Amino acid sequence: MCGIAGQVSPHGPVDPGLIARMGEALRHRGPDSSGSFLSEGVGLAVRRLRVIDLETGDQPVFNEDRSVAVVLNGEIYNYRELREELLARGHELSTETDTEVVAHLYEEQGLGCVNGLRGMFAFALWDSTRRRLVLARDRVGKKPLFYAERGGRLWFGSEPSAILADPDVPRDPDWPAIDRYLRYAYVPHPASGFAALRKLPPAHVGEWREGRLRISRYWRLSFTDARGSDPAGDRERIRAALLEATRLRLRSDVPVGALLSGGVDSSAVVAAMSRSGAGELRTFSIGFDSLAYDETPHARAVAEMYGTEHHERTVGPADAADLLPRIVRHHGEPFADESSIPTFRLAELAREHVTVALNGDGGDESFAGYPRYRLGMGRLPRWAPARLAARRYGPHVARLTDGERDGLYQPAFRAALGPDRWREPLEGLLRHSSAPSVVERMLDVDMGSYLPGDLLPKMDIATMAHSLEARSPFLDHVFLEAAAALPAHAKLAAGRSKVLLKDAVADWLPAGITERGKQGFSVPLAEWFRGPLRQFPEDVLLDPAAVQRGIFRPARIRRMLAEHRLGAADHAASLWSLMVLETWQREFA
């Protein structure tokens, strides 16, 4: 697990000092070692968190004649199998690290090297023979990769801060992207909060040559091969797939634990770890003083069942005030999922004991775990056009309604944004979905939007801020394909979500875990903004500097604050989004 960055230029040498600064901006992602590669017109930087091959696995890594150099953030879980195949075909490998297989697969397959990789990754590969830079990102977007293009030059980095280490890259906000952020609580790819920066989308590779970047897709989840009904066989297939994905993610030369919420997904991962020979387990949970939000009793029940060394920490209102600037600084762009607060503290707790932690991310997107899949979508015909489907689905994922947005924005700012196209990312995903049912179309949309835009950055940033590696068995692409092949009624039936998954793991878990309603990693932000943090939103949003920006109507913000404090409305999520945006402007303007 690492942070990577670099620059390529068709016009001459790259500044070694810049490459060093870009790498240093990512020190928290890789505190164990630093590395760089410099050649005519190219510079690569890497910060490494040592997880596999502690002695010889530092990066960059090369092929036999050093014509190919690779820096990689993430893990290739099937590297042992790939390594044996490469050795059998005559390749000479000098390390035991997973990164090295990428260099040798590229020698054989070029850009197609990504197809055999099973893992989470964002990598940069320099081919000195062809003078080609290859950028690639894993299938679901577990690992981030930002880039910028200007005058034929290309910058890339695991976080915006690495690219912004170069003063030649402008910091101007991308206001239409910010408008979408205020709808979704994140900036949908390929945009970023900065006009000059973009995100390489999940499941894409980029090829830079002679000052031009070409981007192409290499994988798409297919729902078209759904099987008929075979509940017993399907349950066994899902159990086997989860166990295999978990076994692969136990490969590590450092201590491994699990982030345990007490919900079905993270509990199933702990159970699979135990059944896969993980040995003595360490588990980590976050609780709240508010009983309505606290899941620690359920997490404790799972920990007791498997005899784990269990650790807990409580999050309160002071954590929100303390962490707001840190969360904004690490994300580098506006990101307003308030569950990043407990996720940040959970990663901090886990890193005190382990270097790698498995989690349950991805189960809801494969098995219809969110309430929105049951709310209204059943009335939408399968043949409904993308625009109608997006209009029906949009309110379930949007934080601001059209009216709230128009009432909040200053007229000049509203006019400068141009046409309101916030639903376009949903429409594009719906048009390209091969899913045969409405529910599966929504799963497909969330797999391409909410998962890589919200859940995965939240986990990546929180864990990497503490030099902790997070691994997600449910996001193994082989597991995802097995789940996508299940019939829709195995995911949602008669109002019951995650039907087959719950049935598959029921005997692995304490009684009642699979029958609990969906709670999620919710935060009592509304209570805090009416109580101990009553003044916090006002101090941030009505600060003179914030008002002078001329983006939002102060009168509307005062009304939102008053309505929320009186309990007439719950504006907590919207207020947090505005607070994150204001803090981001203070940090990066």
Mean pLDDT of 273-294: 91
Buried-state track 405-419, b at ≥16 Cβ within 10 A, e below 16: beebbeeebeeeeee
pLDDT for 83 equals: 97
Token pair for 33:
């070692």
How many whole angstroms separate alpha carbon 191 and alpha carbon 184?
Answer: 13
Cβ atoms within 10 Å of 561's Cβ, excluding its own: 19
In the prediction, which pLDDT does 421 show?
84
Model confidence at 111, pLDDT cuts 50, 70, 90, reads very high
Residue 516 has pLDDT above 90, yes or no: no
Question: Is the model's pLDDT at 233 over the cut of 80?
Answer: yes
Q: What is the mean pLDDT of residues 190-195?
A: 97
pLDDT band for 518, please (50, 70, 90 cuts).
Answer: low
pLDDT higher than 60, residue 470: yes
For the residues 532-546, what does the mean pLDDT come to?
97
Confidence tier at 381 by pLDDT (50, 70, 90):
low
Q: How confident is the model at residue 1 (pLDDT cuts 50, 70, 90)?
A: low
Q: With bands split at pLDDT 50, 70 and 90, how would you rate the model's confidence at 374? A: confident
Q: Which of 129-133, 227-231, 239-243, 456-460 has the lowest mean pLDDT?
A: 227-231
Q: Are 326 and 161 contacting, i.e. CB atoms less than 8 angstroms apart?
A: no
Q: What is the pLDDT of residue 386?
A: 77
Question: Torsion angle, CA of 557/561/563/567, rounded to 10 degrees?
Answer: 150
Catalytic residue among 1, 2, 18, 429: 2
Query: What confidence tens digit (pLDDT) does each residue in 235-253 have?
Result: 999 999 999 999 999 999 9
Alpha-carbon distance of 270 to 272, in angstroms, equals 5
Q: Is 37 left (phi over 0), alpha (psi -120 to 50) or beta?
A: beta
pLDDT in tens, 124-144: 999 999 999 999 999 999 999
Q: What are residue 256's DSSP bridge partners?
A: 356
Question: pTM for this one?
Answer: 0.96
Give pLDDT, residue 517: 67
Could you give the CA distance from residue 55 to residue 46 in angstroms, rounded to a whole number?
16
Residues with Cβ within 8 Å of residue 538, at least 6 apart in sequence:
561
Residue whose structure tokens are 């081919």: 127
**Local confidence band at 483 (pLDDT 50, 70, 90 cut-offs):** very high
pLDDT band at 397 (very low <50, low <70, confident <90, very high): confident
Residue with tokens 């910010």: 178
Q: Residue 67: is its pLDDT beyond 90?
A: yes
Amino acid symbol at 391: R
Q: What is the pLDDT of residue 520?
A: 63
Name the pLDDT band for 401 (thresholds 50, 70, 90): confident
Residue 68 pLDDT exceeds 70: yes
pLDDT (tens digit per residue) in 309-324: 999 999 999 999 999 9
**SS3 letters for 245-297?**
HHHHCCCCCCCEEEECCCCHHHHHHHHHHHHCCCCCCEEEEEEECCCCCCCHH
Burial 16-26 (b: 16+ CB within 10 A, else e): eebbbebbbbb
- pLDDT (tens digit, 9 = 90+) per residue, 278-287? 888 999 999 9
Q: Would you say residue 57 has pLDDT above 90?
A: no
pLDDT in tens, 411-435: 989 988 888 888 889 899 988 888 8
pLDDT(376) > 60: no
Element (H, E) at 129: none
- Quick check: 148 pLDDT over 70? yes
C-beta pairs of 228-232 under 8 Å, 24+ apart in sequence: 228/487, 229/487, 229/489, 229/490, 231/490, 231/500, 231/503
Q: Give 184's pLDDT tier (boundaries 50, 70, 90).
A: very high
Residue 2 a catalytic site member: yes
| pLDDT above 90 coverage of the chain, percent | 80
Question: Sign of the CA dihedral 450, 453, 455, 456?
Answer: positive
Position 422 scores a pLDDT of 87
Give me the pLDDT at residue 12, please: 83
Residues in the chain, overall count: 589
Q: C-alpha angle with apex 352: 330 to 457, nearest 5 degrees? A: 30
Question: What integer pLDDT is reported at residue 263 of this predicted model?
Answer: 92
The mean per-residue pLDDT over the stretch 385-389 comes to 77
Question: Quick one: pLDDT band at residue 383, thresholds 50, 70, 90?
Answer: low
Q: How does the average pLDDT of the chain come out, rounded?
A: 93
pLDDT in tens, 17-31: 999 999 999 999 999
- The domains found in the chain, sorted by start residue, are 2-217 (3.60.20.10), 231-315+324-370+451-515 (3.40.50.620), 525-588 (no CATH)
Give CA separation, 488 vs 115, 136, 491, in Å.
Answer: 27, 32, 5
The reported pLDDT for the residue numbered 9 is 96
pLDDT score of 402: 83
Average pLDDT rounded to a whole number, residues 341-360: 97
